Amino acid sequence: MFPRPIQKAPQPAQWTYTVALPLALLLWLLPLLGVAVTSIRPASDLAQGNYFGVPSTIALGNYIEIFLNTPMAKYIRNSFIVTIPTVFGAVALSCLCGFALAVYNFRSNLLVFFMFVAGNFVPFQILMVPVRDLTVQTGLYNTYLGLILFHVAFQTGFCTLFMRNFIKALPYELIESARVEGVSEWKIFRHIVLPLMRPAIAALSVLVFTFIWNEYFWATVLTQGADVQPVTAGLFSLNGQWIAQWHLVSAGSIVAALPPVLMFFLMQRHFIAGLTLGATKG
Amino acid sequence: MSGSATAVMPVVSAPRTSYWKRNQRKLAPWLFLAPGLLMFLIYVIWPIGNSIWLSFFDWDGLGEKTWLGLDNYAELMDDENFYISLKNNVIWLVLFMLAVPAGLFIAIFLNQTVTGIRIYKSLFFFPFVISQVVVGLIFSWFYAPNFGLLFKLIEWVTGTGIAFLADPDYVTYALVAAGLWPQIAYCMILYLTGLNNISPDQIEAARLDNASGWRMLWYVIIPQLRPATFIAIVVTVIGALRSFDIVSIMTDGGPFGSSRVLSFYMYEQALSEYGYRMGYGAAIAVVLFLIMMIFITGFIWKMVNDERSGG
């Protein structure tokens, strides 16, 4: 283990570590904590210049206010409507693609694989004008479906990379012996490989959920107005309306951040397994 | 010749219905690929080509396209805002790389087995989980003149606060700092996983050789962390060049356009309130794409090599 376990260090070093750990965390999360406290601060505190002291009351009213007076609930709903089908779509398509690229040896295999990988890295702006035009032409501008279709397609690149590497690591003999038995390729996928992919599916679902929930650029390019816009884009327009009403901006930010945060804490192991794929090879 | 003749024989004699059976192994990969590949070609691969094509036109997104040849690019060469954006992209790229050593540093700091360390690790990772929009708002508040936490701290130390987001000299650095916050968390988690997988034998062997501290880190640990470092560099470069959300949320390119980056400038030109300049925007996107391609090619080249040697 590196560094040397602190338990083996001399006593003063251990004490220093015990103090430094919470202190470092406090510093690290200082901006976030500030916003969290501001979100429960009554507007009157801000008016009187009480920005950092203890809030005079705990104003949960800020949260009620953003739900009553703004389309926040609608934005949140939109985010779910866009995010959940995207997770299903991208994970399903990448299971299929990953299987194809991991199991079959065909000539353009690596070419297709690296096309997925490379597509994943391109700047969004090089896609923006054609994708927006395509979405407008097909009547999908400012619809959930328009946003979902693009997200599914783009996330399939990253997810395929992940799935392919995962299936490659499975024992190939499983597939070979099934073939000897005369099991069809589809049934090999459906009944032998897919059940083994559960951890990968879980990891990707959590990751894609977080990515899409937090996505902002395409939300502004492909949608407008509170009817369809997800919460990231919604928060941007609310921020424009709430000039300097930081108690509301803060409460809105916290609300928008909550679903992925919950997802992360509930599915932490899968989340990190997905994110650190490839970081341990060799 | 005789080999191919014998291969043809069973094909002719076999019943027609078994075409699928005979070719299943050949067709299956393409059938499995079809839905995903089709979507990817429509939404990712084709638009790249289309954008390059559009960059040679003058187009408002609705009416006729007018062929301009290289005029859009010629205009870029004279566009001061383009150079400002490009310069800011370089600042982002260079400073963003700090996320890699900073992430390693925090990972080493946290790689202990004291009680509660798992919660500490999760909380340190926190900034990466929340949206960049929220990160942007959090830092806007942090920097806000007169009452922002950082403004107050600086005022308390030096007597006068600095309104980072309103100052063209500081604004990009302030934005990069905000962007670094989640990026460091990301690199940290990569390194924590990497550290977890270092073989203890080698560390023990190195300890017996009296290696410790910096020498241990440099000669034993960092070489073993190479896969984590590679991924950390990839995601950090991509993240730096994709910086759009933070700029859009925190400054909207201001003050006076001084915090624009190429991704933001492109968006502004293509979908600005003063009229859509899709062709010019596409030209900016192509430049950004080419910059990105330099890195993508390098990454892919390394991955192909690994793939070949890894079997």
Q: Looking at this predicted complex, what is its ipTM?
A: 0.92
Domain span at A197 = 66-275
Asked if residue B14 has pLDDT above 60, the reply is no
Mean pLDDT of the region B142-163: 87
Q: Note whether B21 and B124 are same-domain residues.
A: no
CA A160 to CA A53: how far, in whole Å? 50
CATH of the domain at B148: 1.10.3720.10
CA A178 to CA A164: how far, in whole Å? 20
Check CB contact under 8 Å for A99 and B267. no
Which burial class, exposed, middle or buried, applies to B122 when counting CB atoms under 10 A from its CB (0-12, 13-18, 19+)?
Answer: middle
Domain span at B158 = 71-310
Provide the shortest C-alpha distance from residue A159 to chain B (in Å): 10
CA B134 to CA B142: how far, in whole Å? 12
**Do A149 and B39 meet the contact criterion of CB atoms below 8 Å apart?**
yes
Q: Note whether B83 and B28 are same-domain residues.
A: no
Q: Note whether B45 and B148 are same-domain residues.
A: no
Residue of A nearest to B121 (CA): A25
Asked if residue B311 has pLDDT above 80, the reply is no
Q: Note whether B134 and B88 are same-domain residues.
A: yes
What angle (nearest 5°) sits at the alpha carbon of residue A135, between those of residues A130 and A137?
90
Check CB contact under 8 Å for B190 and A25. no
pLDDT at position B10 = 46
Mean pLDDT, chain B, integer: 89
Check CB contact under 8 Å for A34 and B149. yes
Q: Is residue A116 part of a domain?
A: yes
Asked if residue B155 has pLDDT above 60, the reply is yes
Provide the shortest C-alpha distance from residue B209 to chain A (in Å): 15
Asked if residue B4 has pLDDT above 90, the reply is no
Residue of B nearest to A29 (CA): B124
Asked if residue B5 has pLDDT above 50, the reply is no
CA A58 to CA A222: how far, in whole Å? 38
Residues comprising chain A, all counted: 282
Q: Note whether B120 and B186 are same-domain residues.
A: yes
Asked if residue B22 has pLDDT above 90, the reply is no
Mean pLDDT of the region B255-265: 94
User: Pick the residue with more confidence: B2 or A96?
Assistant: A96
Torsion, Cα B149 B155 B160 B166, to 10 degrees, reads -10
Q: Is residue A10 part of a domain?
A: no
The residues of chain A scoring below 50 in pLDDT are 282
Encoding tokens for residue B128? 């990466």
CA A80 to CA B195: how far, in whole Å? 36
Q: Note whether B182 and B121 are same-domain residues.
A: yes
Asked if residue B275 has pLDDT above 80, the reply is no
Q: Is residue B140 part of a domain?
A: yes
CA A202 to CA A271: how far, in whole Å? 8
Q: Is residue A280 part of a domain?
A: no
Q: Note whether B191 and B226 are same-domain residues.
A: yes
Per-residue pLDDT band for B255 (boundaries 50, 70, 90) equals very high
Residues of chain B found within 8 Å of residue A43, distances taken between Cβ atoms? none
User: Pick the residue with more confidence: B249 or A274?
Assistant: B249
**DSSP assigned state of B1:** -
**Count of the separate structural domains present in chain A:** 1
Per-residue pLDDT band for B201 (boundaries 50, 70, 90) equals confident
Residues of chain B found within 8 Å of residue A8, distances taken between Cβ atoms? none
Q: Note whether B95 and B180 are same-domain residues.
A: yes
CA A211 to CA A207: how far, in whole Å? 6
Check CB contact under 8 Å for B248 and A21. no
Q: Note whether B44 and B103 are same-domain residues.
A: no
Q: Note whether B140 and B247 are same-domain residues.
A: yes
Provide the shortest C-alpha distance from residue B5 to chain A (in Å): 23
**Do A281 and B193 meet the contact criterion of CB atoms below 8 Å apart?**
no
Note the pLDDT tens digit of each residue in B90-120.
999 999 999 999 999 999 999 999 989 999 9
Residues comprising chain B, all counted: 311
Question: Among A255-264, B57-66, B278-287, which is the least confidently predicted range?
Answer: B57-66
Provide the shortest C-alpha distance from residue A227 to chain B (in Å): 19
Provide the shortest C-alpha distance from residue A62 to chain B (in Å): 17
pLDDT at position B16 = 60
**Count of the separate structural domains present in chain B:** 2
Residue of B nearest to A255 (CA): B134
Q: Note whether B13 and B114 are same-domain residues.
A: no
CA B107 to CA B95: how far, in whole Å? 19
CA B277 to CA B58: how far, in whole Å? 7
Check CB contact under 8 Å for B134 and A235. yes
**Do B95 and B101 meet the contact criterion of CB atoms below 8 Å apart?**
no
CA A39 to CA A245: how far, in whole Å? 10
CATH of the domain at A211: 1.10.3720.10
Q: Note whether B15 and B159 are same-domain residues.
A: no
Asked if residue B250 has pLDDT above 90, the reply is yes
Check CB contact under 8 Å for B42 and A134. yes
